[in-house]
Structure 1
């Protein structure tokens, strides 16, 4: 209700007296105010309806363009591209129900398998090599590629909805979604059989669902409130169930939830103070919806994973013998035989696949760092099987008559190197590469049973083994523990110098627990193939509890993920990503001079990165001004700048900075979730620049009403406000269209590298090497 004048002539009684006393209708009377309010509400309702219609039409256009850019020419190239060799292969293994191992959780790969199942693919093609023809091998590759293309297209729509739900203007929505729509990296990554489309889509959905949940904060525990809380948790679960970097979305949402809970705890909050039991209900609801439920969903995808993969396959080697016994057709376990004393065996490292090896050459007197060695016989890890890998298992005592008796868990043994007739030994001498680890060497039989007897004793410690469990080839994963010093035999991939023929170093690791100490007795070479010891009855498939299988797989996944530290020609560092300093070569075809080079839209990325810096500068400047008593922003503008835009900036930071502490291989695609957040910040900041003064006009309008001015004056203020808003929208549209025009030009210029066609001349390739990108066919 508009404010009314307190003067007598404005009273209801005076307006109802006879004609003789009736005065001309005052323009500020209650009836005129009511009429004005009614008019304003009608205009506002009409404007809102028109605005909603504009938003919906624009949303439909943006979505259509997203599908067009992602699906255009998706059948090219008709051969295996880049990491399709991995994720296409995994889909085939799912369809064949063959066990495989991967460092990523299963959801993204299950989606590919589901798409293959829908189109009737049987998994016969295993995507072995980049360049293998899909046409020749009759693979429905367009269907596989359609899955990430659909998700990538919908991601653009979700970005638009995030801005719309956050209350931003139409230009801001168009700019944020347009930057993603016209980004070459997002297009390129979503047109191939890769996981990042699923990851980025789930991340965007988690932001949207949380915003819708937060908007219902005044309707706590309502059905809608619960719905969006659970959907936020589900989106987070899908994120981390695709790749483990999805954990960063949990950090984003979790940080926002902590701030929200902190505000709820405030006894002076505008909505009234919560009692501690009420606060506890809010905390428990969020813990359930954003931690417990996502974890249940996460476990569910692994249950599906185990339920499908029931046959022995290439992933067996990564799992324990107990796990392998749950898989049908496990040939390795079927061929396992019990190891007896005086058997000759080969021993292979589980992680690096190197054989325990020795040869007559000796360690040098001094290493490169000046340390002195024992000059004993070299013991190394060798990738190929030969007779220098043969070791005979001897009992601990020289007079111990154990011929034909089985070796058991925790037995003390000696290992005789057959080719040189020496005994394995470890002692308190530093290894070539690790001054803290013990050297492994061999000594003569006389010394082994004489002065060096103690140093040649080793304990066979079977992984997860029971007391008196028999040691078996293939299935008997074990750690070889040096008895006197209690170090575990270990190896790693860094090759020895030329004096060691660049073979792997073997040393004694003081940390016994790590799984990298595990070895496998691969075969008993002294037992002929037709010997009755190799005869095995038909083996029944065993079962293991789900959580035991899950924990074992988690350990293996995390270990192998951390081992991805080798250099890669297209790896890049986090500081290079916001500036788009380099990309990744996905595919080339020499005959047509075509190539797919994974690269973002340079103009779009540089603008988004610049806006991030501008946003940080604005916040710092505002804080500095407030410290000096200068309040340059109204409450509404500052609230949006810190809360809404701040939430987008938080999403960018939590998806970017953690990569600085990672030791694994990193590539440009790791920045895609952070880039999506940067487009949200860009759209929000454009609105901040062009509409931050609108609240002052609203305040002027309210002040005019409160001061008792005539409705004509009120109308002038309303008109001025509308004029300002129109000018603001016009300015925002101009800025949006200028930015998107530049981005569209850059997008079109780099399209041949994104879509892989047409082929380009040397001059055309060179023109696209803006920052020295390592493109092919530049000469």
Structure 2
């Protein structure tokens, strides 16, 4: 499949000679190439193809899009669905509090900017769906206006994409109307949600790439470079708005690779120098520029969020200490030998605990234990959580007051039982592959070596001091090299159902990390005084690229971890058919609700269009295999190059979701739906076309650029069919509008009538007995 998106053939062509065919007329003044071949062109179509008519249609679509998306944008004046997240993040930008989210920050920063622009101070935290904006004095309309504005502009961009690909005005209007009158796009585009911004930048990316490809015969011209860089910029904006924006990068990358592969063909007569020039130009515009832009977005993001906030705990101690007011920055203290501390596991948050009770001689599976003192993980503060850091024999009493440092060999003394932490080659109670942890009397030196542990700080340099709060560490047993570890599975009643502590043979696992929660007893007043003001009050510095890498890794991990069930989650197979939607908001008193669902007519038309398109290509391939020519060459080129590009965009934004294990919702299909509208328009043009005029590329001495125009003549029936389709779309949109806008309220029977598919879960529906 080719990356060429205009309807011209793939094979490389030289610029046409100055002599032009008889059926073209060149206007040197306005640099237009007009087709004067009126064969089979209806009067209506000739009128529609004039520039003024095309601009009027685009203006009409734009005004209609603004009207539908801004209609009653102030309703409801309550938090709706994921506004609890993205409105909250906007507040954090205004108050400069650090937060963590799985999505890149560009769209959320734009929401913060919109809120700041309308005078919002960030005081409201969008805690729960249904909370009132008006009672909390939140200028929410100004924040909702941002996605509504961009969603409205997406409609004329879709129109422009089709026009730039050489389709007629009426066909371009058809594709645009599918997005214009779609209930899901409207509902998603008038709330503080990310998808409208994502789709806006995605559509601009497609438009820019098409403009770039149309200039392939005037390579390296200012306009060629301009549209190449515009493609890279808007692609980066898409990528930086939401995590699945990376699919747009892939969708552009595929035709670019096909294009480069075509240039590499020696039959085209190009040298390797010519190939590398094109490769480097595309690498600069579509790889280097997007990466730089993406990094800049995160640089701004991290430069704004400089105060401690709810996202601190996701980050490493070194990262947290760069945030003003962070607990680790203010309260961490250097740990010294003979300090008594409480130790907690980073993931499960339980304390390292011990008590006089012992392991049973025999476990349920018949294994024999050491009958040593139990060492467990306990979730509550208790004096049995107290451990003293004891120096080894190499540091006798002179070790008192000495700072414990990275890679020191230490002992842990359980204060209440005066026994030393120990692990040995005995299977743990719940995991036979891991070692048992127990304790040993401190005065019995017969097992001294088994009580020795390396104190390994995470991401530390040699000699770095161990600190409470921020000093995350792994405790590695010296003789056996296992790491102290715990997990969520609890021990039986004989251990009071506390968590098991055992020795993990894989010492590199991140779940082996612990930290000192508190220093519970100072030895002397002198020691206490020496700790005063140890922790710096000013935030520390950390290299941007280290912060960026840490944040990217966490985003990927947490996005993959969003696997919890949700009542309105749905799989990719359901999306094109509108099997289920999402309940965004309800108001019980007036029986109002917002239910995200698409326009059934538009969505089913698109999926029928895609299926038919694939069938036509398959039939053409099969016919050509049998030495037949089912389609003329110009028609085939248009189907493969233009509609084929749209199909690639649809597929790349759709099929990867089958590989994802995270929560998925119908709004994840909206980018693919936009691409499917482009495919449907291309197919309608194929079905209705009576003739196809060949595109003409003209380069004149006084012309600064090349113009290409081609029209698929759809005859008089085209405008009639598209007008009827638009009216049907509008009718369905109005019929479903109460679920899109959340007003007016509906009684039970009215709700039932709106449930076009039995799988839609609508609120306030009448029961069969009520009906």
Partner of 1:473: 468
Report the Cα distance in structure 2 between the residues aligned to 1:344 and 1:660, rounded to whole angstroms: 52
Report the Cα distance in structure 1 between the residues aligned to 2:652 and 2:660, rounded to whole angstroms: 14
Report the Cα distance in structure 1 between the residues aligned to 2:351 and 2:754, rounded to whole angstroms: 48
**1:295-310 equivalence runs, <5 A:** 295-310=291-306
Please state how far the C-alpha of 1:766 moved relative to its aligned partner.
3.1
Provide structure 2 residue ranges, at least 5 long, that are not aligned to the other structure: 1-20, 27-33, 696-710
User: Does 1:291 find its partner at 2:290?
Assistant: no
Equivalent in 681, 685, 688 of residue 686 of structure 2: 688
User: Does 1:756 find its partner at 2:742?
Assistant: yes
Structure 1 residues 185 and 34, CA, compared in 2 at 3 Å: closer, same or farther?
A: closer
Please state how far the C-alpha of 1:407 moved relative to its aligned partner.
2.0
8 A contact 1:80–1:130 mirrored in 2: yes
Partner of 1:64: 63
Report the Cα distance in structure 2 between the residues aligned to 1:35 and 1:105, rounded to whole angstroms: 52
Report the Cα distance in structure 1 between the residues aligned to 2:446 and 2:24, rounded to whole angstroms: 110
Partner of 2:605: 607
User: Does 1:774 find its partner at 2:761?
Assistant: yes
User: Does 1:521 find its partner at 2:516?
Assistant: yes
Please state how far the C-alpha of 1:672 moved relative to its aligned partner.
1.5
Report the Cα distance in structure 2 between the residues aligned to 1:493 and 1:108, rounded to whole angstroms: 37
**Partner SS state of residue 586, structure 2:** strand
Please state how far the C-alpha of 1:426 moved relative to its aligned partner.
4.8
Partner of 1:667: 665
Structure 1 residues 101 and 725, CA, compared in 2 at 3 Å: closer, same or farther?
A: closer
Please state how far the C-alpha of 1:224 moved relative to its aligned partner.
0.5
Please state how far the C-alpha of 1:365 moved relative to its aligned partner.
6.7
Partner of 2:88: 89
Report the Cα distance in structure 1 between the residues aligned to 2:546 and 2:260, rounded to whole angstroms: 36
Please state how far the C-alpha of 1:459 moved relative to its aligned partner.
2.1
Report the Cα distance in structure 2 between the residues aligned to 1:448 and 1:160, rounded to whole angstroms: 84
8 A contact 2:100–2:310 mirrored in 1: yes
Structure 1 residues 641 and 479, CA, compared in 2 at 3 Å: closer, same or farther?
A: same
Please state how far the C-alpha of 1:504 moved relative to its aligned partner.
6.2
Q: Highest relative contact order (Cα 8 Å, sep 6+), 1 or 2?
A: 2
Structure 1 residues 550 and 672, CA, compared in 2 at 3 Å: closer, same or farther?
A: same
1:346-388: CA deviation from partner (whole Å, max 9, x where unpaired): 3334345454456759699778xx7968597776655554555
User: Does 1:547 find its partner at 2:545?
Assistant: yes
1:39-97: CA deviation from partner (whole Å, max 9, x where unpaired): 98396999478532222111111111111111111111112222212211221121122
**Pairwise CA RMSD:** 3.6
User: Does 1:411 find its partner at 2:398?
Assistant: no
1:516-543: CA deviation from partner (whole Å, max 9, x where unpaired): 4433322112349995355226633332
Structure 1 residues 36 and 231, CA, compared in 2 at 3 Å: closer, same or farther?
A: closer
Structure 1 residues 151 and 528, CA, compared in 2 at 3 Å: closer, same or farther?
A: farther
**Partner SS state of residue 664, structure 1:** coil
Q: Which shifted more, 388-397 or 640-649?
A: 388-397
Please state how far the C-alpha of 1:427 moved relative to its aligned partner.
5.3
User: Does 1:254 find its partner at 2:240?
Assistant: no
8 A contact 1:582–1:771 mirrored in 2: no
**Partner SS state of residue 525, structure 1:** strand
Q: Which shifted more, 397-406 or 208-217?
A: 397-406
Q: Which shifted more, 396-405 or 602-611?
A: 396-405
Partner of 2:644: 646
Structure 1 length as normaliser, TM-score? 0.83
**1:147-158 equivalence runs, <5 A:** 147-158=146-157
Provide structure 1 residue ranges, at least 5 long, that are not aligned to the other structure: 1-32, 700-723
**Partner SS state of residue 588, structure 1:** strand
**1:549-698 equivalence runs, <5 A:** 549-691=547-689, 694-695=691-692
8 A contact 1:335–1:534 mirrored in 2: no
**Partner SS state of residue 523, structure 1:** strand
Report the Cα distance in structure 1 between the residues aligned to 2:394 and 2:441, rounded to whole angstroms: 10
Equivalent in 457, 461, 464 of residue 459 of structure 2: 464
Structure 1 residues 491 and 748, CA, compared in 2 at 3 Å: closer, same or farther?
A: farther
8 A contact 1:176–1:682 mirrored in 2: yes
8 A contact 1:461–1:478 mirrored in 2: yes
User: Does 1:346 find its partner at 2:342?
Assistant: yes
Q: Which shifted more, 339-348 or 101-110?
A: 339-348
Partner of 1:14: none
Report the Cα distance in structure 2 between the residues aligned to 1:503 and 1:182, rounded to whole angstroms: 58
Structure 2 length as normaliser, TM-score? 0.84
Structure 1 residues 72 and 431, CA, compared in 2 at 3 Å: closer, same or farther?
A: farther
**Partner SS state of residue 341, structure 1:** coil
User: Does 1:229 find its partner at 2:228?
Assistant: yes
Structure 1 residues 224 and 502, CA, compared in 2 at 3 Å: closer, same or farther?
A: farther
Report the Cα distance in structure 2 between the residues aligned to 1:35 and 1:400, rounded to whole angstroms: 101
Report the Cα distance in structure 2 between the residues aligned to 1:35 and 1:688, rounded to whole angstroms: 23
Equivalent in 700, 715, 718 of residue 729 of structure 1: 715
**1:374-523 equivalence runs, <5 A:** 374=369, 384-387=380-383, 389-396=385-392, 400-401=396-397, 402-416=399-413, 424-426=421-423, 438=434, 441-445=437-441, 450=446, 454=449, 456-490=451-485, 508-513=503-508, 515-523=510-518
**Partner SS state of residue 518, structure 2:** strand
Structure 1 residues 217 and 332, CA, compared in 2 at 3 Å: closer, same or farther?
A: same
User: Does 1:135 find its partner at 2:122?
Assistant: no
User: Does 1:99 find its partner at 2:98?
Assistant: yes
Partner of 1:190: 189
Please state how far the C-alpha of 1:147 moved relative to its aligned partner.
0.8
8 A contact 2:47–2:53 mirrored in 1: no
Please state how far the C-alpha of 1:174 moved relative to its aligned partner.
1.9
Please state how far the C-alpha of 1:591 moved relative to its aligned partner.
2.0
Report the Cα distance in structure 1 between the residues aligned to 2:670 and 2:523, rounded to whole angstroms: 56
Structure 1 residues 333 and 50, CA, compared in 2 at 3 Å: closer, same or farther?
A: closer
Q: Tell me the matched-pair count.
A: 714
8 A contact 2:390–2:413 mirrored in 1: yes
**Which one has the largest radius of gyration?**
1
Structure 1 residues 395 and 773, CA, compared in 2 at 3 Å: closer, same or farther?
A: farther
Q: Which shifted more, 164-173 or 236-245?
A: 164-173
Report the Cα distance in structure 2 between the residues aligned to 1:448 and 1:378, rounded to whole angstroms: 18
**Partner SS state of residue 577, structure 2:** coil
Q: Which shifted more, 520-529 or 393-402?
A: 393-402
Report the Cα distance in structure 1 between the residues aligned to 2:366 and 2:572, rounded to whole angstroms: 38
**Partner SS state of residue 520, structure 1:** strand
